[in-house]
Amino acid sequence: GGGTEKFLDDHAVILVADHSHAPIEKAIDLQRAYSELAVLGPSGARRDDAEVALCPAQRSAMVYVLVKEGRDAIIPRIVDTALDLEGVDLMLWRPAPREGAIVSGRGELRFAPGGDLRDPRGGRWSVDGPLEVLDARVEDGVLRSDTYPDALGRAWSALACPTSGDVLLSAAPGYEFADWGGVDHVGGGSHGSLHRVDSLGALAFCGVEAPHDHGEWSIEDVAPMALAHFDAG
């Protein structure tokens, strides 16, 4: 293209990584952890009697409750089991349609969209419970967490997704949920949790306008940058 300077004079460039990878040292066996419940297998066996379905996905996992009667009693059992399971960092669920809960060994935090507390990306929230759950702090009315980037925004997006499970699990650094075939990435890298070790990626751009200046970037910003550039042209 005539060298870097000439190329960048004529082209706009956005380079982005969708996530980072975290080193994996141990695997989490969800099937064994929830063996006291009737678990639906991937083959569909025991479908009529199954109470829950387990969906491990590298450093995140979801648990679906399949029974209507007793659902409110099963969810606390799922959360309590995960709380005692080595390698599980955070458990997310919805105690009410417009409320989320994040549970860890540090306590339980309830949150909901709207409220006086802002996050670095401009979202507003109401929270109740210890901020230590997210290793968070409030500075000038802004909720910040260096450990869990955009924690409430990402957590609510996951919980509000129509196809999400009833309980969502986020693994601690160094851990991964083994899949149904027993496969894991121990000795390699994996991703998918809310922790910063596999949530932060790279973004570099030239020739396009930044959509904001608050410094809290997200992969969600990439498409608006591209669209704004072509609309302007």
In terms of Cβ atoms closer than 10 Å to its own Cβ (0-12, 13-18, 19+), residue 104 is buried
Instruction: Kindly provide the residue ranges of all beta strands, DSSP E only, lying in the chain, ordered along the sequence.
Output: 13-16, 22-23, 26-28, 39-40, 52-57, 60-65, 88-96, 99-104, 107-118, 124-128, 136-139, 142-145, 167-171, 175-177, 189-190, 203-206
- Predicted confidence (pLDDT) at residue 233 exceeds the cutoff of 50: no
- Tokens read off for 64: 């679906």
Q: Mean pLDDT score of the chain, rounded to an integer?
A: 93
- The residue-averaged pLDDT of 131-160 equals 96
pLDDT confidence of residue 232: 54
What would the pLDDT profile of 36-83 be if each residue is shown by its tens digit?
999 998 888 778 899 999 999 999 999 999 998 888 899 999 999 999
- Predicted confidence (pLDDT) at residue 18 exceeds the cutoff of 90: no
**Phi/psi at 198 (5° precision):** -130, 15
What would the pLDDT profile of 169-215 be if each residue is shown by its tens digit?
999 999 999 999 999 999 999 999 999 999 988 889 999 988 777 67
What would the pLDDT profile of 75-133 be if each residue is shown by its tens digit?
999 999 999 999 999 999 999 999 999 999 999 999 999 999 999 999 999 999 999 99
pLDDT confidence of residue 219: 85
